[in-house]
Amino acid sequence: MRDNRIIITSRVRVFALVFGMDLAKHSQYKDFTWAIKLNRLGLELIGLWPKSEVPKNNFSSDLRVVIIFVIVTFISGIPLTCSLIRVWGDMLLMIDNLQVTLPLLIVSLKLVVMRCKRTALLSIIKMMAEDWMELKTKKERDVMMRRAQIARIIVISGYILMVLAFIMVIVLPYFGLSLRRLTNLTDPGKPLPLQTYYFYDVDKSPQFELTYIIQAITVFLGAVTYTSVDAFLGLSILHFSGQLENFKSHSLVITEKTDFSFARLCFPLIGITILFSHTFLYCGAGEIITMQCEEVYRALCDLKWYKLESQYARSLIVLMIRASQPVRITAGKIFPLTMTTFCSLLKTSAGYISFLLANQR
């Protein structure tokens, strides 16, 4: 009976930690809230942060998700698709359109997947809270704090890139510095930030102003969704990596071109930076997890198991069998995401660029 009471109390405490109930000022609680604060801010803004297991408590979050999905997919996605159909055949105009349409399509998929997986997301957050509350030594805390600091740097970098992209795409065109390729086909009148086609006259007022505001909202919400989801993935992976490092420590303790403008040049550079930073995040995180698993396996193999009691020595067999097969992050369960994959991607990209430059000459 006493054990059951302890388990229930522990679960209530963890649930309260995650969802903001008033608790005593534990140092672990402060560390946990500090570690997830920036990620929680972004996910709460777009309605993807799970507040409760009770459906009625998630109504406001679901409403935000639906509104963002409608804006990104229908209000802005359909005009982008119509414009893509109109410019089909012109490679430059198609690329100009797809560099916005494809990220917005990914944003829509992320919204749907994250909303459908809210229960799994809630379980991950609860698990992270339990891990932080169970830290017992200063060394364990330092390991987790280092991982959390890296995750915060990733989030802050993502938000900075998001602000730069918003300025380049939305603010500069307002002052006449459009970064898109403007033609009579795509922009017969006043140019908009995005290459879109509407079934009404956007040159008249207030249609132009309202359309401009809608496109600005679309870019902002799409950037926040894209960045926040990837940043939370990075936080989860780094948290898991820290737990593996702590586990390894536990096992070791057993025995003791000329017509271009500068602004137009900056836009693709920022896009490439964002693209490769997200790819590097996935591959780097996968490499970290694989290395930590291999270190755990080596640590288990180096143990002086013959000095242990037989029951403890036998329990190491299961750990060694599991640790011999490292955990890997895969892309569609096809190939592992590691730094080797990232380097291969860079080499392939450089090869294609060299081929295109050779054909251009």
pLDDT tens per residue across all 361 residues of the chain: 444 444 444 444 444 444 444 443 467 888 899 999 999 999 999 999 987 665 556 788 889 999 999 999 999 999 999 999 999 998 989 999 999 999 999 999 999 999 998 888 999 999 998 888 887 788 888 889 999 999 999 999 999 999 999 999 999 888 888 888 888 888 888 889 999 999 888 888 899 999 999 999 999 999 999 999 999 999 998 998 888 888 877 665 555 444 556 666 677 778 778 878 888 888 888 888 888 888 888 887 877 766 777 777 777 777 777 777 777 777 777 778 888 888 888 888 888 888 877 876 6
- CA–CA distance, 82 with 318 (Å, rounded to integer): 57
Q: Residue 238: name the closest of 230, 123, 333 by CA.
A: 230
CB half-sphere exposure, 128, CA atoms < 13 A: 28
126 is in which domain, residue-wise? 26-260
Whether residue 147 is found in the same domain as residue 134: yes
pLDDT of residue 29: 82
pLDDT single digits (tens) 19-44: 444 443 467 888 899 999 999 999 99
What pLDDT does residue 9 have?
45
Same domain as 213, residue 79: yes
**Residue 21 covered by a domain:** no
Do 316 and 173 share a domain, yes or no?
Answer: no
- Whether 14 is in a domain gets the answer no
Helix, strand or coil, per DSSP, at residue 98: helix
Query: 238 and 286 share a domain?
Result: no
**What is the pLDDT, as a whole number, of residue 12?**
44
d(CA 72, CA 108): 7
Is 241 buried (19+), middle (13-18) or exposed (0-12) by CB count in 10 A? buried
Query: Residue 14 has which token pair?
Result: 């963890």
Same domain, yes or no, for 40 and 136? yes
Whether residue 8 lies inside any domain: the answer is no
Q: Are residues 107 and 183 in the same domain?
A: yes
In-domain check, residue 19: no
Regarding whether 327 and 235 lie in a shared domain, the answer is no
- Report in angstroms the alpha-carbon separations of 180 from 35, 91, 192, 232, 343: 39, 14, 9, 31, 31
Within a domain: 227: yes
* Count of the separate structural domains present in the chain: 2
CA distance 97 to 88: 10
**Residue 303 contacts residue 314 (beta carbons within 8 Å):** no
Domain co-membership, 135 together with 279: no
Indicate if 342 and 224 belong to the same structural domain: no
Q: Residue 336 carries which DSSP code?
A: E
Residues 58 and 135 in one domain: yes
Around Cβ 100, how many Cβ atoms within 10 Å?
25
Question: Do residues 319 and 173 share a domain?
Answer: no
Q: What's the sign of the alpha-carbon dihedral 63, 67, 72, 75? A: positive
Which token pair is 239?
Answer: 């948290």
Per-residue pLDDT, 6: 43
**Last residue of a domain, which of 231, 260, 289?**
260
Residue 286 inside a domain? The answer is: yes
Q: Both 128 and 273 in a single domain?
A: no
Angle between helices 118-133 and 207-252 (to 10 degrees): 40
Whole-model pTM over 0.85: no
Question: Where among 206, 225, 260 does a domain terminate?
Answer: 260
* 215: in domain: yes
What single-letter DSSP state applies at residue 206? T
Q: Does any domain span residue 10?
A: no
Burial group, residue 358, by CB count within 10 angstroms (0-12, 13-18, 19+): exposed
Indicate the residue type of 10: S
Q: So what's the pLDDT on residue 105?
A: 94
